[in-house]
Amino acid sequence: MTGVIADDVFDAEADEIIRGCLDLTAVRSFFLYAGAGSGKTRSLVQAVRDLCRRQGRQLTLTGQKVAVITYTNAACDEILQRLEFDPRVDVSTIHAFAWSLIRGYDADIRRWLDANLLAEIAELEDKQARGRASKASVERAQSIESKTRRRQGLPAITRFVYSPTGDNRTRDSLNHAEVIAMTAEFLTSKPGLRRLLVARYPVLLIDESQDTARRLMDALLGVQVAFPTQFCLGLFGDTMQRIYADGKVGLAEAIPEAWARPRKAMNHRCPKRVITLINKIRAEADGQAQRPRSNAQEGTVRLFLSPEAVPSKSALEASAAARMAELTGDEAWLPGRDGVKTLALEHLMSARRFGFERFFGPLYRYEPMRTGLLGGNGSGLGFFTRELLPLANALVVGDRFAIASAIRRSSPLLDRQRLATAGQQQQAELARAKAACDGLRALLVAAEPPSLRALLRHVAETNLFVIPDVLQPFVPDVPADGADAEDDDASTEGGAWRRALDAPFSEIERYDRYVRGVSQFDTHQGVKGREFDRVMVVISDDEAGGFLFSYGKLIGTKAKTRTDIENETAGNDTSIDRTRRLFYVTCSRAEKSLAIVYYSDNPGLARANLIERGWFTDGEIEVMPA
């Protein structure tokens, strides 16, 4: 057996364990540990294929299916194609799967929404009573009015709707967070729904399970405990790659003893030097280590150290890229070649470099919005990215076909029912739509770039698109009274949006490209499961500017705080844990060469500590001139 063939079957034991678990006559739940580049998606597809080959007829006769939950729509499409669209397998994202379970339970949904809206209104009213007159208080009053109006309209809704990929803005629609929260609560409190899940799907496989919302994961673990011999919950993932704040902390420790725990140790993606580095990064966390393929390249890793205070970080990073081209002989590293994927360890750093910080920063700092913001599907975001942006781009270049397409797709001005009702007045309706577009174009091409707030108000005044409830409070032009900066303002959804709407509209396109992964920069979420020949990781505690991450603490140039120690003692997540995971995820994307640019508060101490830990050799660290 050659080395390459041996590499291909190195983790065959893990696949065989999974095969044994997926026996419909005696199912067994399992947690597959599969580190970066280990081929867990291939194992998932292979396991499902094998189950359908062995017991597919039983699934057909009983009307049951295998459920597979994946991380993104793109991952769904890939798995469906690999499975050749087998009708005995349902592949979906977590939001689509959750909705498939609760869809149609309209009375239960209505009761849940009523209680949830009542609680949200009470919280807003409490803040209103304690606050002072300001823009924030006006916006809170409008939010209270909007939520009250929605609550009062619940009895008239006969059937609730939801789109896992849409903006869900109609009065009868649910948002993404509500669907996840409801599904978790219903699975916990309604035995009938648990039985339905088990009867419909005797096998449920979850990819990237470490990032599944903790409440939903807890509910699914509860279903497995209730039906251990009838329901196989198969979790594929790696706790070191948990990057969402709402993922379940301590997932591996929560797995029952009776579960199987197969493990894949081969990294098929990275060169040898990168694998050595990522093994060192996670050694102090869980000790799990991977091995490279026998035919893996050696690879190149360099750490470029710099003080935080440099005149131009962009110029320094360009110099580091040019140095990588020299070291590797790979001209694709040269600046301007678009051959490098830049991953900043904190999204605000990417936003600053790519030019959308004014829009992104306030929303990102409001923690409840963070997950949706990074996925591009948070409340209110689709209004700018999926409705306003396509129309704006078409208007600026004068693409009449694209303009008409954008308007027909979602504008109430050209709603089919509205035009039918207009009868002989249809021409007037078309003229109204044209006037709205002409006004929008005038704002877009003006010498002074328009703010998001200005465009929002134009859209509202002309009825060009439906304004989402979350943005309704910002439509009125409330005059400033000098008392609009309440202490808790930045920590509220309204305060976050108020600041974000001051950004110029040009930032929306950059934000949209970032979350879709089509820019030089990328999100940690966007690169999961992906790889790139050349990766530059940029880290800076000063730029991160928050308590979520700290490279100084991870590397030892800063001391742990009392909170860090208390969290460690309690088994809670710490800034060191989060930083280590993100460093692991980003470094493990490199297929050929990896550059790390580290802006340190103490470059000398950082260098000494990193060499002592064995993360880098002395020759792999280059101190960049300030």
- Binding site for ATP, by residue number, is 34-41
Give the integer Cα–Cα distance in Å for 500 and 358. 6
Task: Give 311: exposed, middle or buried? Use CB within 10 Å, 0-12, 13-18, 19+.
Answer: exposed
Residues 534-551 as b or e (16 or more Cβ within 10 Å = b): bbbbbbbbebbeeeebbb
Residues 88-119 as b or e (16 or more Cβ within 10 Å = b): bbbbbbbbbbbbbbbeebeebbeebbeebbee
Rounded CA Rg of the chain: 26
Q: Residue 139 in contact with residue 474, Cβ under 8 Å?
A: yes
Task: Give 355: exposed, middle or buried? Use CB within 10 Å, 0-12, 13-18, 19+.
Answer: middle
Which residue, among 246, 263, 229, has the nearest Cα to 14 in the 3D structure? 263
Q: What is the distance between the terminal CA atoms of the chain, rounded to a whole angstrom?
A: 53
Residues 6+ apart with CB under 8 A from 417: none
For residue 409, give the 3-state DSSP assignment: helix
For residue 91, give the 3-state DSSP assignment: strand
Which residue, among 549, 560, 619, has the nearest Cα to 344 in the 3D structure? 549
Question: What type of residue sits at position 109?
Answer: I
**φ and ψ of 493, to 5 deg:** -65, -40
Which residue, among 375, 387, 426, 432, has the nearest Cα to 169 in the 3D structure? 387
Tokens of 108: 């239960």
Give the integer Cα–Cα distance in Å for 173 and 385. 20
Residues 6+ apart with CB under 8 A from 64: 58, 199, 200, 201, 202
Residues 6+ apart with CB under 8 A from 282: 240, 288, 289, 580, 584
Per-residue DSSP letters for 285-352?
A: TT----EE-TT----EEEEEEEES--S-HHHHHHHHHHHHHHHH--GGGSTTS---EEEESSHHHHHH
Taking the CB of residue 73, how many other CB atoms lie within 10 A of it?
13
Give the integer Cα–Cα distance in Å for 504 and 331. 36
Residues 6+ apart with CB under 8 A from 296: 270, 271, 272, 275
Residue 621: HSE in the Cβ half-sphere, 13 Å Cα cutoff: 20
Give the integer Cα–Cα distance in Å for 580 and 558. 15
Q: Residue 209 in contact with residue 235, Cβ under 8 Å?
A: yes
For residue 37, give the 3-state DSSP assignment: coil
Tokens of 345: 């360890």
Tokens of 1: 């057996």
